[in-house]
Structure 1
Amino acid sequence: MAKYAGISRRTLIYYDQIDLFKPAKIGENHYRYYGIDQYFELDVILLLKNIGMPLEEIQKFLKNRNVDYALTEFQAQRAKVDQQIDQLKEIRASLNSFIDRYERLKDFDLESITYAFREEESFVVSEIIDTIDDIDSVQVYGRFYSSVESRDLFSGYPIGFLVEGAAFNEENFHAAPYRALVKIPDDRLAHYRSSKIVTRPAGFYVSGFIKDEIHHINIFNNRFKKYLKEHNLVIDGDIWELLWQDEATSEQPEDQIFEVLIQVKQIV
């Protein structure tokens, strides 16, 4: 029977123990004996198992075999499979995003600054973090990340921070009040309150990468200011920081790599 079904002897014994598929009789020698007609019932079990039906549902199915019941159960199982397919598609999309992100990290240039058009993007944001108290900051982060659905939080797009554009002229905008942010696709915006959504408008942005932000922010800031002056540009929006290299690719905080984007306009 085990050879016929392509399963192990141990599996047959387990099916007997849970009253799913019992032998026709057990001999005085404690051997299990199966009848030829039991092949058909075992075929049903293997069929149902192959389409992903749990053993406890198979037990119920075997006791209610008719066309209407089978049709209902198969339709329900298909709905479960469709849901699993959707979940796998989400996982694949996240993996694609992570892979694209990490491939970009292999070619990033800490010295270059770019001026390019960026499409509009939407983000869900935290409350303002304006305290130097680490405990208070952690509490804000905790409230924020727990409010973001995992499919969005772990989408593969870098998390980031939003700082008012006026802070750029301060000596160290790293110390300015800021908000944490997570990118949200347009088809997911309805899952969040409008008050928690901010949009980075389409437009021209100056951007560059920075490593170990805390220790190099001033040098980076001066490079940005020099670039703006040389190209007759002025700030025309807020500061967007995206964390491209995070703890998933390095255990050292100083290895973090941010992309800083600032919307600008030409001086007339």
Structure 2
Amino acid sequence: MKKYLSISEMAQYAGISRRTLIYYDQIDLFKPVKVGDNGYRYYGIDQYFELDVILLLKNIGMPLEEIQVFLKNRNVDYALQEFYRQRSKVDQQIEQLKDIRTSLDSFIERYETLKDFDLESITYSYRETESFVISDIIESGDTMDSVQIYGRFYSSVDSKDLFSGYPIGFLVDGAAFYKENFHTAPYRALVKIPDDRLHLYQLQKIVTRPAGYYVSGFMKDEIHHINTFNNRFQSYLKEHKLVLDGDIWELLWQDEATSELPEDQVFEVLIPVKKVSV
């Protein structure tokens, strides 16, 4: 009866590579019962069971260093403790994957919208309240200062919110709307925060876009488009007897993820309005 298995035979049984078995030997996780004078590794038949345990633990996501500890402490109580702990880690990973899936859904919905956006269309609609965390004031002409402010701001926002898929926003004083190019006015950067996560941020850093009626439209970040956009919006307000009723809210729908050219950026501009009093 055969007493020993070669490394190739043991690898074939386990469905793993010879290289893996060599590595397990090197880190003292699973060693052959003997090494021949020729340097060949040989495994005992009963080592199947030990390798089965290692592969089981590896299959449930346990790191090799934790498997080493597990093998030295095997009993029912310890196994239960470690399996409960591993299940808790898996539950956390599942929640993280759910968050990633939600972000992906948001990005996909956002970029699907971009495929059909219309630079000529202007919409008058009711918008619900949304809350944002807000940066310090950014002066458009001061590049170095802007970089520093952006750096401080984005590092203060949780990545779950920063990369949620919702467009990054900007807030501009409403008076700038009547300037030739309101994109040269001072502004603040915005990141949308769900209501159940607002408690994670300082109250003074939170700003709310009020519920109400807004005139909105898409605009490219290029001087010709900005001027055309301003003229169309002001004409629309006049024609429909509407007046500006607050600050300018912008959402950056097309960003560097979909184009490396700054002039390709597409913003949605939302202007709160009210009817002209008669």
Is TM-score (shorter-chain normalized) higher than 0.5?
yes
Tell me the residue number matched to 1:82.
Answer: 91
> Counterpart of 2:180 in 1: which secondary structure?
coil
- Check whether the contact 2:251–2:268 (CA below 8 A) recurs between aligned residues: yes
Decide which of 174, 196, 202 is 1:193's aligned counterpart: 202
Tell me the residue number matched to 1:225.
Answer: 234
Q: Per-residue deviation at 1:184?
A: 0.9
Summarize the alignment of residues 19-98 of structure 1 with structure 2, pairs less than 5 Å apart: 19-98=28-107
Identical columns (%)? 81
Tell me the residue number matched to 1:234.
Answer: 243
In the alignment, the residues of structure 2 paired with residue 28 and residue 140 of structure 1 have an alpha-carbon distance, to the nearest angstrom, of: 67
One-letter identity of the residue aligned with 1:12: L
Decide which of 125, 134, 141 is 2:150's aligned counterpart: 141
In the alignment, the residues of structure 2 paired with residue 13 and residue 169 of structure 1 have an alpha-carbon distance, to the nearest angstrom, of: 73
> Counterpart of 2:86 in 1: which secondary structure?
helix
Q: Provide, for residues 214-245 of structure 1, a one-character-per-residue CA deviation record: whole Å limited to 9, x for no partner.
A: 44322211111110111111111210011111
One-letter identity of the residue aligned with 2:177: F
In the alignment, the residues of structure 2 paired with residue 109 and residue 29 of structure 1 have an alpha-carbon distance, to the nearest angstrom, of: 75
Tell me the residue number matched to 1:205.
Answer: 214
Q: Provide, for residues 121-166 of structure 1, a one-character-per-residue CA deviation record: whole Å limited to 9, x for no partner.
A: 1111101123622111111111111111111111111112101222
Give the alignment's TM-score, normalised by structure 2.
0.93
One-letter identity of the residue aligned with 1:256: Q
When structure 1 is superposed on structure 2, of 20-29 and 142-151 the one drifting more is: 20-29
> Counterpart of 1:21 in 2: which secondary structure?
coil
When structure 1 is superposed on structure 2, of 171-180 and 223-232 the one drifting more is: 171-180
Q: Provide, for residues 55-102 of structure 1, a one-character-per-residue CA deviation record: whole Å limited to 9, x for no partner.
A: 111011000000111111111111111111111111111111111100
Decide which of 253, 259, 262 is 2:268's aligned counterpart: 259
> Counterpart of 2:55 in 1: which secondary structure?
helix
Decide which of 182, 191, 194 is 2:191's aligned counterpart: 182
- Check whether the contact 1:174–1:214 (CA below 8 A) recurs between aligned residues: no
Q: Provide, for residues 97-126 of structure 1, a one-character-per-residue CA deviation record: whole Å limited to 9, x for no partner.
A: 111100000010000100011111111110
Tell me the residue number matched to 1:159.
Answer: 168
1:121 aligns with 2:130: yes
When structure 1 is superposed on structure 2, of 226-235 and 208-217 the one drifting more is: 208-217
Give the alignment's TM-score, normalised by structure 1.
0.96
- Check whether the contact 1:212–1:253 (CA below 8 A) recurs between aligned residues: yes
When structure 1 is superposed on structure 2, of 212-221 and 92-101 the one drifting more is: 212-221
One-letter identity of the residue aligned with 1:199: T
Runs of 4+ in 1 over 4 A off after TM superposition: none
One-letter identity of the residue aligned with 1:235: L
Q: Per-residue deviation at 1:213?
A: 4.1
When structure 1 is superposed on structure 2, of 252-261 and 216-225 the one drifting more is: 216-225
Calculate the aligned-residue CA RMSD, in Å: 1.3
